Chains A and B, each alone.
Chain A
C-alpha cells in the first residue's frame, strides 16, 4: 500500500465513523421527539425537589401509532403524567405494517415494554396472552367500563389480556357528489352495487380506486366482502377453519370470485399492483374515482387531501338481494401489560386512566373511531354516520383474522397471492389453495 491509497483508506474509515456517529445522534433525536413535552417537566422536578424525582418510575409504552396517526396519544400521556407526577411515560411508536414483526422479536428477546399496544384477536393479543406474556386483567374494577362485545377481542377462557380502546370499521367510501350527479342511490345489495359501478364506469370515472403494491387493500376489501356472504351463511366458518374442518377454498370460493369479477369488469384501478395505498387514496380524494375501500382511520387523510370533498362511508353490499348488509367492525387498538414488567403497579394505573370515559372519548375522536365504553357513543363524524348506524343495529362482523388462530400466515399469503390474481399468474381458486397451504404449514408449527 502506498501513501496515497493509505490516505484514501483513512478517509473511508473516517467516513464510516462519521456514519456511525450520525446514526447514533439520529437515534437520540428521535428518542427526544418521542418523549415529547415531558422531558423538561421531569428535569424541572430534578432540580427543584430532588427527593420526589428519585421515586419517579419510568413506564415504557410501545404502540403501532406514529406520526399523523398518533392522534391524542401525546396529549393523553401528558395529562396522565400531570395526574400522576411519580410516573414518567415514555412512548415508542412505529408504523403498523412492521409492528407485528417488531413485537414478536421484542417478546422473544424478553425485551418488551411495560405497556404494549397490540392488535386484537386470536393470533395477536390472545396468542401473546396464551403464550404467557401478558397480565390477566379480569380482576380489575375498571375493566367493567368496557362493552362486553369489545372485550371479546381481547379475552380467552375468562382471562382478559388487554383493554379494547376503540372500534374501527372497514367500508366503502363514496364520493357523494358523483353519486348525486349520476343519481345513484346507496346500494344495499350486490346487484345494485354492480349497477352503480357500471353507471360510474359509463360516465368515464373509475368506479373503485385500489392500490395493491402490498396487497393490503385487497385484504381490506375481502374483509368487507365476507361478512355479508361467507359469514352470513356460515357464522362458524372461523371456528371450523381453526379446527381444520373447512378450508378457504371451500368457504371463500364464491366470495373471492365475486370480488375479482370487479377487476374483470374493469371497475378497479388498472395495474393496481404498482399502485400504493396513498396513491389510491389520492385518486379518490381528488375525485378521479368514485369509491375507495378502507378503514375509518383514513378519513382525516382523505379530508386533508381535499377539504372540499363530500364523502360518506357505507358497508360493502356484498349480500344477495333480500339479505341484510353487514358491516365490518372491530376493536382497533388494545393496551396490554407485560407480565414481566417491573412496574406493574404504574402500568395498571396507566390502563385505569385509559379506562375512563373522558380519556376514551378524546382518543376515539382523534382516531375517527367509535367508542368501546358502556353506554357511550362518542362524537362520530357525519361522514361515518351511515355505517355507524348499521354497526349500532348489530349487523356487524369483526375483521376476519381476529378469529383465526394462524392470522399471520393466512393474511400474509392472502396479500401475496391476491397480487398473483391481478397479474393473472394464478386464478381466484389457486389463491385460496395457496392460503390453505400456508395455513397448513402454520398448523404444523403449532
Chain B
C-alpha cells in the first residue's frame, strides 16, 4: 500500500517535470500544426479576419500547380545530394578524428563550428564567396587560369541549387561527424585486436566491424539530415529566395512566398500540410528500413 502511494507520488513528480515541456510543445507546436490543417481548407488571405471554407480546392489546385511540382523536385534533389554527401564526408572525418592525429582536438572544433553558425551567417558569407565578379571562388579560378570555369554560381539556374547543396554540406558535415565519432567510441577495441590477429586489413576491418557497428548513428544521421534538408528554408531564402526563376524553389520557400508575399495563406498552408506528410512518411520509412540493419 505504502509502496503504491510512493510510486504514485513518483508519477506525480515525473509528470510535474514533464508538464512544462508538454504545455509549451502543445501550445506552440502541436496547436498551430493542427490549426494549419484547418486553414488549408480555407481561402484565408492572411490579412482579413474573415475567410471562406473551400473544402479540398487548395489541394486539387496543388496537383495542377507546375511550380509546386518543380519545388518538390528541387526539394528531393537537394535532400538526396545533401544527405548522401554530408554522410559520405561525415564518416571519414569521424574516422580521422578517432585516429591518433595530434591536432584532432582543434580540428574537431573547426569542423563542428559551421554547424553552430546561423544559416543566415552561412548564407551571407557564401554569397560573397560565390559573387561572380569579385567573389573568392571565381577569383581563385581566374588566378589559376581556369577562366572558363567561372560561373555566376547562384545566378545561373544550372548551378544555383548545387551551389546551395555545397553550402549545406559544408555547414553540417561536422555535425554528422560528431555523431559518428560518438558511435565510434562505443565500438570495443578488442574487436579490432581480434581482427588484427586474424590478419584482417584496415579496409576489411572497416567493412566488417566499423561500418556494421556504425548502424545506429547512420540511422540517426540520415534521419536527422533528411528532416533538416527537407525543411531547409533560411539558407535558401538568404541566398536566392528560390530564384533565379524557380531554380532553387523548394517546398518551404514556395510555401513562404505563397502565404506571405502573394497573400494566399490558405493555399500556402495546404502546401505545408502536404510537406508535413512528405517529411513524416520519408522519415518513417527511413527509420523502419535502417533500424532493420542495426546490430542488436
Chain A residues within CB distance 8 Å of chain B = 1-2, 4-5, 8-9, 12, 15, 19, 100-101, 104-105, 107-108, 127-128, 131-132, 212-215, 271-276, 279, 406, 408-409, 412-413, 416-417, 419-420, 422-423, 425-426, 438, 441-442, 444-446
Residues of A within 8 A of B47 (CB): 104, 107-108, 127-128, 131
Chain B residues within CB distance 8 Å of chain A = 43-49, 116, 127, 131-133, 152-157, 178, 181-183, 185-186, 240-246, 256-257, 260-267
**C-alpha spacing A426/B261, complex, angstroms:** 22
**C-alpha spacing A283/B47, complex, angstroms:** 40
**C-alpha spacing A426/B267, complex, angstroms:** 25
Tell me whether chain A's interface is mostly helix, strand or loop, or mixed. helix
**C-alpha spacing A299/B196, complex, angstroms:** 72
Residues of B within 8 A of A442 (CB): 45, 262-264
Residue in B47, B48, B153 with the greatest tally of chain A CB atoms within 10 Å: B47
11 A-B pairs within 8 Å (CB atoms) are namely A8-B182, A19-B116, A101-B261, A271-B155, A274-B155, A276-B131, A409-B261, A425-B245, A442-B262, A442-B264, A445-B44
Given A274-B152, A274-B154, A406-B263, A131-B243 contact (CB < 8 Å): no
B155 touches A5 (CB 8 A): no
Contact partner of B243 (CB less than 8 A), chosen from A1, A15, A213, A279, is A213
Contact partner of A408 (CB less than 8 A), chosen from B49, B132, B133, B261, is B261
Residues of B within 8 A of A9 (CB): 182
Count: A-B pairs, CB below 8 Å: 121
| Chain B nearest CB, measured from A126 CB (Å) | 12
Residues of B within 8 A of A105 (CB): 260
| Chain B nearest CB, measured from A7 CB (Å) | 9
Residues of B within 8 A of A445 (CB): 43-45, 263-267
Given A4-B186, A8-B182, A423-B245, A100-B261 contact (CB < 8 Å): yes
**C-alpha spacing A438/B258, complex, angstroms:** 10
Q: Which residue of B lies closest to A2 (CB)?
A: B186
| Chain B nearest CB, measured from A123 CB (Å) | 8
Residues of A within 8 A of B178 (CB): 8, 12
Contact partner of A131 (CB less than 8 A), chosen from B49, B132, B262, is B49
A409 touches B263 (CB 8 A): yes
A423 touches B261 (CB 8 A): no
Residues of B within 8 A of A1 (CB): 186
| Chain B nearest CB, measured from A366 CB (Å) | 27
B186 touches A212 (CB 8 A): no
**C-alpha spacing A64/B46, complex, angstroms:** 20
Known: A9-B182, A101-B256. 20 other contacts (CB 8 A): A5-B185, A12-B178, A104-B46, A104-B47, A105-B260, A108-B47, A131-B48, A214-B243, A272-B155, A273-B152, A274-B244, A276-B127, A276-B131, A279-B133, A412-B257, A416-B243, A419-B245, A438-B262, A441-B264, A442-B262
